[in-house]
Amino acid sequence: MKTDITTQEDIILLVDRFYDKVNADDLLSPIFNDFAKVNWEKHMPIMYRFWGSILLHTETYRGQPFPKHMKLPVDNKHFERWLVLFYQTVNENFEGPKAEEAIQRGLNIANVFMYKMGIIPELPNP
C-alpha cells in the first residue's frame, strides 16, 4: 500500500529513486553526467533540501536552481523525459495530496525553466 509524502525520509526515497531513473536513461544521463558532470555526492543532499522545502515546507533550501540549468544543451524532449520519469517515480511510490502536489510542482518547474530557456513547452500532463 502506497502512502503520501509526509516525511524527509519520503523525500529522500523520491529523490533517490528518481535520480536512479535519470542515471539509467539514455537521453538524460549524458546531460547530467557527461555535460554537467554532476557530483552526485554533493548534488543529492541539495535535491533533498530542495524538494523538502517545496513539499514539506522545511525551508532548508537556499539557492537559485535555474542559473545552473541555463547552459544545458536541452530541448523539449529532455524536459518531457524528465517529467515522465518524475511522474513514474511519484506514482510508483506514493499517493495522496502531497504526491499530487509533487507532480504539479514538477510540471510547473519544467514550464518555468523552458520559458526562461526559450523552449516552447509540449509537455505531458500528469
**pLDDT 10s digits, 2-35:** 999 999 999 999 999 999 999 999 999 999 999 9
* 71-98 confidence digits (pLDDT tens): 889 999 999 999 999 999 999 999 999 9
SS3 58: coil
Distances (CA, A) of 76 to 57, 100, 117: 30, 23, 10
What are the chain's domains?
A: 8-117 (1.10.490.10)
Q: Which residues contact 24 (CB under 8 A, 6 or more apart)?
A: none
This prediction's pTM: 0.91
